[in-house]
Amino acid sequence: MYKFYNPNPKNKFVGDCVIRAICKLEDSDWDTIYLKICFYGFKEKNMPAINEVWRAFLLDNGYHRFSIPNTCPDCYTVKDFC
């Protein structure tokens, strides 16, 4: 069941997808996550929404990346992927 979620304090929907997604993942507020990701962007000398920036944040915070095996990519459901 779809449940609306937008933690952006100004209710914006464009340009901050990474921040909004990580807010949900971390169960945190938009300002906190934005500042944390911006710090990673500062260290990497890149923008917060760049894959390398948010990926470094997630990896440093205990998250892992997994891939769907090529043996049967059509066997996985969205639930399996999540």
Domain boundaries, the chain: 17-81
Distance CA 78, CA 68 (A): 11
Indicate the burial class of 32 (C-beta count within 10 angstroms; 0-12, 13-18, 19 or more). middle
Does the reported pTM lie above 0.75? yes
DSSP for 21-73 reads HHHHHHT--HHHHHHHHHHHHHHHTS-TTSHHHHHHHHHHTT-------TT-G
pLDDT greater at residue 29 or residue 13: 29
Q: By percentage, how much of the chain surpasses pLDDT 70?
A: 96
